[in-house]
Amino acid sequence: MSENNIYQYSATLINKNEVSLADYQGKVLLIVNTASKCGLTPQFEGLENLYKKYQEKGLVILGFPCDQFANQEFAEDEKIDSFCKLNYGVTFPMFSKIAVNGEQTHPIFKYLKKELPGFIGLPQIKWNFTKFLLDQKGNPVKRYAPTDKPEDIEKDIVDLL
């Protein structure tokens, strides 16, 4: 596997199954660090709408719950899963809770932050719902701020599909 794409990494789905990101080769990926109790949590609705609209054309959204910002995520994966499904009808893949900053940063987010540093080149994730768009070859294309709504990035997704 080339070191220049996301496919070298794997992660644990919220149902505890390990998945290789290589399983998503040929898909446009939108990777998002999420939280269930955040002011931006309603973005789940927009993310799910994008997923439903473009899933057949090759979009996959990957949600990574994180509790590093003001403790805005549930402790248990089961609670996160049921919250997302019951409140927002989330059907896109959700993963077990991870860290996106600090020593425990998940390798996927280490890679994404290195490839697409944030504001003025700082790699840190500033808040929940930071989004990373990747092309069909696993190359990171664009990083979006937490306040960028899913519907505002639809054109970029369509351009890649």
Phi and psi (nearest 5°) for 116? -130, 80
- Please give the pLDDT value at position 70: 84
Is 38 an annotated catalytic residue? yes
| 1 band by pLDDT with thresholds 50, 70 and 90 | very low
Active-site position among 29, 38, 62, 112: 38
Spell out the domains of the chain, with CATH numbers in brackets. 6-160 (3.40.30.10)
The sign of the torsion formed by the CA atoms of 154, 158, 160, 161 equals positive
Distances in whole angstroms, Cα of residue 74 to Cα of each of 19, 33, 114, 120, 130: 22, 14, 28, 31, 18
What is this structure's pTM? 0.93
What's the average model confidence in pLDDT over 144-154? 95
pLDDT tens-digit map of 48-102: 999 999 999 999 999 999 999 888 888 899 999 999 899 999 999 999 999 999 9
